[in-house]
Amino acid sequence: MRFFFLQDFQHWLLSLFLGLVLAILVYLGFTAYSDSTSRAGEKGEEEFTYPDGIRGKNFPTPYFIIFLYLGFVIWAILYVIFVGMRSPI
């Protein structure tokens, strides 16, 4: 804990709201494609049926989710490289 309480409080609020914004963006990324397919018709989706009669469809992955995954992988690789270069072994 720091000497000034306000800085800790600001960091908590910043992380809370950035996490909330990220959660909303991920939700919108997953639901945006299903909303657009209902308006635009069939867009390469494949319908299938399980043995018990349960029906499902395969939708392509939204571009936002691909961007999010790529960003995480790039961040992880760069983090390992830069932290590995700084730390004494």
Do 81 and 74 meet the contact criterion of CB atoms below 8 Å apart? Answer: no
More confident site: 57 or 15: 15
Span 17-35, pLDDT tens digits? 999 998 888 888 777 766 5
Quickly state the pLDDT bin for 36 (edges 50, 70, 90): low
The span from the CA of 40 to the CA of 85, in Å, is 50
Residue spans per domain, the chain = 5-86
> Is 19 buried (19+), middle (13-18) or exposed (0-12) by CB count in 10 A?
exposed
State residue 44's pLDDT score. 52
How confident is the model over 84-88, as a mean pLDDT?
A: 75
